[in-house]
Every structure is written in structure tokens, then in C-alpha cells.
Amino acid sequence: MKCYPVPRENLVLSIDNLKDDIPEEYLSHKECYENVIRKGSVLYDIFSELSKDRKHKAHQAPSNAYRISDGIMQNVNPFLLHFALFVPAITNQATPEQQAEFLKHGFGIIGTYAQTELGHGTFLRGLETTATLDLETDEFVLNSPTLTSYKWWPGGLGHTANHCVVMAQLYVKGKCHGPHLFFVQIRDIETHEPLPGLKLGEIGAKMGFNTADNGFLGFHNFRIPRNNMLMKNSQVLKDGTYVESKNEKLTYGSMVFVRVYLLSDMAYMLARAATISVRYSAVRHQSHIKPDEPEVQILDFVIQQHKLFISIATSHAFKICGLWLWQTYSKVMEDIGKGSMDRLPELHALSCCLKTTSTRDAGWLIEQCRLACGGHGYLMSSNLPSLYTTATAAITYEGESTVLLLQTARYLIKSWKRAMEGESLPATVSFLSEYFNKRYNKWENTPKGIVDGLKLVVAGVTKMCAESIQKHVSRGQQYEEAWNSSSVQLIKASEAYSRALLCEVFWFEVDKVSSTLSNNLAVVLKQLAELYITYWALEKRGDLLVYTTISKDDLDKLQERYEELLALIRPNAVGLVDSFDIRDEILCSTLGAYDGRVYERMMEHALKSPLNAETVNQSFHKYMKPVILKHKI
Ligand SMILES: CCCCC/C=C\C/C=C\C/C=C\C/C=C\C/C=C\C=C\C(=O)SCCNC(=O)CCNC(=O)[C@H](O)C(C)(C)COP(=O)(O)OP(=O)(O)OC[C@H]1O[C@@H](n2cnc3c(N)ncnc32)[C@H](O)[C@@H]1OP(=O)(O)O
Ligand SMILES: Cc1cc2nc3c(=O)[nH]c(=O)nc-3n(C[C@H](O)[C@H](O)[C@H](O)COP(=O)(O)OP(=O)(O)OC[C@H]3O[C@@H](n4cnc5c(N)ncnc54)[C@H](O)[C@@H]3O)c2cc1C
């Protein structure tokens, strides 16, 4: 990801107009939206000013924009899709001429990415919105033929965006050419009124993400110029000739970009949850360890360390793997630019399973951090509930987790078959060939030994899936049916693959740079990486017992080492979360503030509740008093 001059956090955080007088949880649905538009517009203006003094295209957010935006918004930014999907879709899928045309207004337009429909989110080939070429007028006519074809979920679509990139089935001369992307203006720039032929609105309150302005959009004979189809990969010429893409899946490239990005995003989500819960655990004193000594910091309970230190380690794991995956993405995009698609299937498989594992892990680990803070973790002012609902949305958006794991499984099975035929495999799956050729080592209780063991699990489960599919086919099922019958195991293979990748990349990237770090830093980072790998070896002990030569004695030693690592990390725990360097204004937590004044901040926040503005609420006189007096004995 290119680095541009970034707005210093303290510059942005010093802007009064970005501060909230009333905590967001006390605003109505509508007030919430209006408040984030107020703040988002200030940010949008800053990004726009910043981009003007840069030589590159004036529509990309600075690299730390997401981090600042998340903190200031204290919720999701309704302009997010403009930067996360709308602009990347145009820069990746439009011709240079189209990019110049569509993005000529820079920050003067606000876009979103409208792909999901009421009736379809996963199965893109089933999308119902149509874009039909009108040869006479050199236009596409967009229609939503059914209620289920209405675009439904796109962020910012309800009331914020005035443009969008729409995924629709392309029809030319009566023939359907499948899903393609189209640049569509949906609101008047000056009045913001929906353009004629469109039905627009927001989809209603959600579990979280309530400031994202997820909306719906229906087309009724809505016309756009033919040139508004993004034509980098495939084209429709003026005479109606359709020129197909070298790879029809290039249309899905924007989703790969966000899936790759989400690893770093989840690293940051977890860093915030770990900072809040570890700092709170250092402040909170509760119960005794030795009966004759004072109440202890709850962080001294080993089980509390077990709950929390995995989040510190996982945040680093996702950050490091996110950078590794970003480098892979950038290399594959470079290859595609030179005409080679060879590594696209590998990138797709990696991004699918790593996006899924990182978002799922972020969800349950943030929940674990919340629970580790007891009742106070349940307060909105702790910010842990909001972190949870924001993170867990990512398990679904950008590709639902089960479906993406099945995509990775598709790649593993194909790779297994190639290994059986003696073909060479990419480094990320070459262990399948070693397993097939029975070249694997005896168990070693070391980080490398654990990584090798986790890879053996992947190979063993993948082999079992291949055999299961073959068994169902031999019993008369079609391949697709046999695939469905084996899907429980296929998911297991992908999950195991993702975990092995995370452990391998985390350990070897840390090991690779440790010689360049100060001794103390190298020691602590290696402790975190070893904690992560040992944690997952113990979590997956069942699979290791089935597919490797690990013994009960090895497992006992791993458990002992794990508990040693908890004790080694304990003295550095607060320093480790401080090193995430997340300012109080971005952390937004009464439990996690740097000064540790937890109880004072909790009381200050409670008194901001509108209910505390008066000692007796009017409802007493209106409703309670008559009943109390009536039944008073
Ligand atoms: C304010 C300041 C902010 C600044 C911010 C700056 C940057 C921030 C960036 C990101 C922020 C992070 C997070 C927030 C961003 C967004 C969150 C909010 C919005 C969310 C948006 C969305 O959800 S967009 C919609 C997402 N939808 C999906 O992902 C749909 C999932 N479905 C699919 O992908 C496909 O339908 C399918 C893959 C599941 C099935 O498709 P199908 O055609 O049926 O495929 P097959 O299974 O038959 O396989 C066919 C072959 O195609 C290959 N393939 C499939 N997909 C891809 C792909 N994407 N790339 C490459 N190849 C693909 C597949 O492997 C098969 O190949 P083989 O036949 O060879 O096996
Ligand atoms: C907060 C949020 C923001 C979003 N923002 C956007 C946005 O900006 N733009 C946009 O276009 N979309 C957006 N989405 C939509 C999102 O991309 C879809 O919800 C997602 O792709 C899943 O599709 P679906 O909701 O139709 O679920 P379905 O695909 O209907 O899934 C429902 C269930 O069916 C299962 N299933 C489906 N297919 C299969 C299969 N082949 N094999 C096995 N099981 C299967 C799934 O695993 C799941 O359990 C957003 C969603 C959320 C929650």
C-alpha cells in the first residue's frame, strides 16, 4: 500500500468539530447518522486538502485514515465504502481513460460498491440486476426486475453516496455475459435528490455498524452511457461486440483487495481490545491468591493471562501476516498487469481463508476480552461491545466465512490432485507433495516442529476429503453432490490450512527479523510468537495426535512451556499493549485509558446519561405513581 503524507493524529484530534458532547449511545438512530456525517465530512475535507498537495490521484485516503476515522467516528464511517471499494473498483477495473473521467471530481463525488442484493450475496452468478445494451442510444438500461434484485446492504447507499459501482448481469443482443461492473450516478450532486428511475433508502437498524448507512437501491429503466461499464478487463464496443476478459474472475478483484486488507484491520481491532482489557486487568484488584495478602491485580491470575495474552500475540500475528499477504497481493497484481494470471487462484485461496480466520478470531477474542473485564466490560463506555459488533460484521461481509473457506478447500483439493500427479506446487502448498511422498519428520517440541505438525494435519485432512469425495462419487453421486456431502471435512481442511499459515508466517517472519532487533525486543516478540504457536498446538492436540507422531508426553511438555510463556510475558503485558500506541481519544474506553483512572471515568461517563439530568423522571408521575397509590395498602 503506497504511503502518502498522513494527517498527524494530534492535528485531527485537536479539531473541536470532531468531538462529541453526548456519547453516541444516547443519540437516536437518525441523530447518530447525522453526527457521523458531520464528523465524516470534516475528515473528508481534510483528506481532500491533503490530496491536493500530493502529485498522485486526488481520491485516495492517507494510509492512517482508517485508524483515525475509526477512533473519531467511534463507529463506522459512512464514507468508508468510497475509499474501501468504490475507488479501488474503479482504479482496478476501469481503463485509464475511464478512471480520468470517473474520478475527475476527486473528492467531489462520494461512492459505494453495490453488489449484494436482497436475494443474493454469495452467489454472484445469481445476481438479478440487469444492464441491457441499447444499440440505438449507445446506452445501458439498468433494471431491478424483482424485489429480490434490489441492491441491499451497500454501505453509504441509503443517504450518503451520490455515485456507486454496480454489479449487474450484462445483456448484449439478448445474450447474458454474466456479472459486470458499471459506474452509476444515483443522486443529484447539488440537491442530493435520488435521480429519476431509482428507489433509494436505508435498510434499518442492525446489530452494529449502525452509522454505515447500509442501503437499498432499485432501478426502473435507468439509463447510463455505454462507456460507464468498467472496461479494463472486458469491453462492449459501440456496435455491440462483446470482448471477453482473459479471466472472468478479474471482475471480483475489489473483493480480494478488501479481504487482504482485513487481516491488518483485525490486527488493529484486536490491539484495541487487548489494550483495554490488559490495562483494566492491571488496575482492577479482586480476590486473593495468598489468603494472608491483599487483593491482587486480576492480571496476576494465570487464567486471566490465558484469556488475554493470546489477543496480544494474535494482533501481532495478523499484523505480520497481513503485511506478508499484502506483499503477495501486490506481486500478483503486478503479474496480472503484465498479463500473467498464474498466481491468482493461490491469492484467492489465501485471502479467503486468512480473511475468514482473522475475522472469526477477532470476534471471539474481543468477546473473551470483554468477558475478562467482568460487568464493566458490558458497559458501552468500555467500547468492547462496539468493537465486537464492528469486528464480527467482517465475518459476513466481503464474503461469508463458510463460503470463503469452501473456496480455499477447492484450491486444496486441486493442489492435492496435482501432488498425486507429481506436479510441482507453489510454496504455500508444497507440503502436500511432501506428505504424498511420505517425506515428513518425527514430532519435535519446537516452534518449527509444531508448524510442520500443523501442516501434516492439513495434508491428512485434505487427503481424507479427497477420499471422501471419491467414495461418494463411486457410490453414484455427481462430483458437486459428493463435494456437498464432504463439506464438513472440507471446511476443517481450510481452517487447518489457515492456522498452519498463520503460525508459519508469524514464527518465520519474527525469526527472520529478530537479528535486526534489540535483544529485549527480539526476546519478547519471539515469546509472543511461541505463545501463539504453542496455544494453537494445544488447542489442536486432537488433530496432532491423529496425524503426527506427537506423544502424550510431548503434549504435557507443551502445556508446561505454555504456562512458562504466560509467566515470562506477564511483566511486559502492560508495556506490550502500550506499544500498540493507541491514544485515549481513539481507544474511546473508560476501562482502557492510559492514566488508569477507570472508576472516575466510569462515573463521569455515567453522569452524561440523559436520565441523570434529573433526580425524578417524568414517567414516575405519569405512569408509576398512579399504580403505586392505587395498590398502596
Ligand atoms: C474514511 C477513511 C477510510 C479509509 C479506508 C481505506 C482503506 C480501507 C480498506 C478496507 C477497509 C476494511 C474493511 C471495511 C471495508 C468494507 C466493509 C464494508 C462493506 C462490505 C462490502 C461487501 O461485502 S462487498 C460484497 C462482498 N461479496 C462477496 O464477497 C461475495 C462472495 N461470493 C463470491 O466471491 C463468489 O460468488 C464465490 C466465489 C463464492 C462463488 O462464485 P462462483 O462463480 O460460483 O465461483 P466458483 O465457486 O464456481 O469458482 C469459479 C472459479 O472462480 C474462482 N474465483 C472465485 N472468486 C474469485 C476471486 N474473487 N478471485 C479469483 N478467483 C476467484 C474460483 O477459485 C474458481 O476457480 P477454479 O474453477 O479454478 O477453482
Ligand atoms: C455490515 C455489512 C456490510 C455490508 N456491506 C456491503 C457493501 O458495502 N456492499 C455489498 O455489496 N454488500 C455488502 N454486504 C453484504 C455482504 O457482502 C453479504 O451479506 C455476504 O456476501 C453474504 O451474503 P448473504 O448475506 O446473501 O448470505 P448467504 O450467501 O445467503 O448466506 C447465508 C448462509 O448460507 C450459506 N451458504 C451460502 N452459499 C453457500 C454455499 N455455496 N455452500 C455452503 N453454504 C452456503 C452461508 O454459509 C450462510 O450460512 C454487507 C454485509 C454486512 C453484514
Q: Is 289 exposed, middle or buried (0-12, 13-18, 19+ CB in 10 A)?
A: exposed
Residue 116 assigned as binding residue: yes
Q: Based on the domain organization, do 162 and 214 belong to the same domain?
A: yes
Asked if residue 279 has its Cβ within 6 Å of ligand 1, the reply is no
50 found inside a domain: yes
Centre of ligand 2 to C-alpha 119, Å, is 10
447 found inside a domain: yes
Model confidence at 56: pLDDT above 50: no
Give residue-wise pLDDT tens across range 488-503: 999 999 999 999 999 9
Q: Which of 398, 495, 504, 509 is catalytic?
A: 398
Please tell me the predicted confidence (pLDDT) of residue 63.
Answer: 63
Whole-model pTM: value is: 0.96
Please tell me the predicted confidence (pLDDT) of residue 1.
Answer: 37
Nearest ligand by distance to the CA of 158: 2
Nearest ligand by distance to the CA of 80: 1
Answer whether 435's CB lies under 8 Å from 463's CB. yes
**Which residues have CB under 6 Å of ligand 2?**
81, 113-116, 120-122, 153-155, 209, 214, 393, 396-397, 399-400, 402-403, 406
115 found inside a domain: yes
Pick from 124, 136, 137, 221: nearest CA to 181: 124
Q: Based on the domain organization, do 183 and 280 belong to the same domain?
A: no
Q: Based on the domain organization, do 522 and 511 belong to the same domain?
A: yes
Q: CATH number of the domain at 328, please.
A: 1.20.140.10
Answer whether 38's CB lies under 8 Å from 17's CB. yes
Model confidence at 57: pLDDT above 90: no
Q: Based on the domain organization, do 264 and 300 belong to the same domain?
A: yes
Q: Based on the domain organization, do 49 and 181 belong to the same domain?
A: yes
Among 186, 396, 480, residue to substitute to test ligand 2 (most atoms within 8 Å of Cβ): 396
Please tell me the predicted confidence (pLDDT) of residue 4.
Answer: 37
| Confidence bin at 14 (pLDDT 50/70/90) | confident
Q: Based on the domain organization, do 157 and 294 belong to the same domain?
A: no
β-pairing verdict for 163-172 and 175-185: antiparallel
Q: Based on the domain organization, do 205 and 285 belong to the same domain?
A: no
Q: At what angle do helices 302-337 and 487-513 cross, to 10 degrees?
A: 90
The number of domains in the chain is 2
Please tell me the predicted confidence (pLDDT) of residue 3.
Answer: 38
Q: Based on the domain organization, do 169 and 277 belong to the same domain?
A: no
The per-residue b/e assignment along 34-57, b for 16 or more CB within 10 angstroms, e otherwise, is ebbbebbeebbebbeebbeeeeee
Of 220, 252, 284, which closes a domain?
Answer: 252
Lowest-pLDDT range, 333-347, 363-377, 614-628? 333-347
Angle at 163 between CA 158 and CA 167, to 5 degrees: 85
Asked if residue 115 has its Cβ within 6 Å of ligand 1, the reply is yes
Centre of ligand 2 to C-alpha 529, Å, is 33
- Measured distance CA(34)–CA(73) in Å, rounded: 12
Q: How many H-runs (helices) and E-runs (strands) does the chain carry?
A: 23, 11
Q: Quote the mean pLDDT of the chain.
A: 94
Q: Is 60 exposed, middle or buried (0-12, 13-18, 19+ CB in 10 A)?
A: buried
In the annotation, is 24 catalytic?
Answer: no
Centre of ligand 1 to C-alpha 458, Å, is 24
Model confidence at 128: pLDDT above 60: yes
605 found inside a domain: no
Of 210, 229, 252, which closes a domain?
Answer: 252
43 found inside a domain: yes
Nearest residue (by CA) to ligand 1, atom 43, is 125
Model confidence at 576: pLDDT above 90: yes
624 found inside a domain: no
Name the residue range of residue 401's domain: 255-426+435-577
Q: Based on the domain organization, do 221 and 278 belong to the same domain?
A: no
77 found inside a domain: yes
Task: Give the number of other Cβ atoms within 10 Å of residue 417's Cβ.
Answer: 12
* Atom of ligand 2 lying closest to residue 119 CA: 26
Nearest ligand by distance to the CA of 490: 2
* Atom of ligand 1 lying closest to residue 411 CA: 71
Answer whether 262's CB lies under 8 Å from 358's CB. yes
Q: Based on the domain organization, do 133 and 163 belong to the same domain?
A: yes
Task: Give the number of other Cβ atoms within 10 Å of residue 256's Cβ.
Answer: 25
Centre of ligand 2 to C-alpha 431, Å, is 32
25 found inside a domain: yes
Centre of ligand 1 to C-alpha 122, Å, is 9
Quote the ipTM score: 0.97
Percent of the chain with pLDDT over 70: 96
Give residue-wise pLDDT tens across range 190-212: 999 999 999 999 999 999 999 99
Please tell me the predicted confidence (pLDDT) of residue 601.
Answer: 98
Asked if residue 112 has its Cβ within 6 Å of ligand 1, the reply is no
Give residue-wise pLDDT tens across range 457-469: 999 999 999 999 9
Of 201, 225, 252, which closes a domain?
Answer: 252
Asked if residue 399 has its Cβ within 6 Å of ligand 1, the reply is yes
Phi-psi region of 600 (alpha: psi -120 to 50; beta: other; left: phi over 0): alpha
Residue 155 assigned as binding residue: yes
Please tell me the predicted confidence (pLDDT) of residue 440.
Answer: 80
Answer whether 578's CB lies under 8 Å from 265's CB. no
Q: Based on the domain organization, do 170 and 273 belong to the same domain?
A: no
Percent of the chain with pLDDT over 90: 85
Please tell me the predicted confidence (pLDDT) of residue 6.
Answer: 53
Model confidence at 261: pLDDT above 50: yes
Grid coordinates representing 328 are 503477495
Please tell me the predicted confidence (pLDDT) of residue 59.
Answer: 57
Give residue-wise pLDDT tens across range 146-184: 999 999 999 999 999 999 999 999 999 999 999 999 999
Please tell me the predicted confidence (pLDDT) of residue 608.
Answer: 95
Please tell me the predicted confidence (pLDDT) of residue 43.
Answer: 86
Pick from 592, 619, 607: nearest CA to 284: 592
Please tell me the predicted confidence (pLDDT) of residue 48.
Answer: 80
Q: CATH number of the domain at 220, please.
A: 2.40.110.10
Q: Based on the domain organization, do 234 and 279 belong to the same domain?
A: no
Give residue-wise pLDDT tens across range 279-291: 999 999 999 999 9
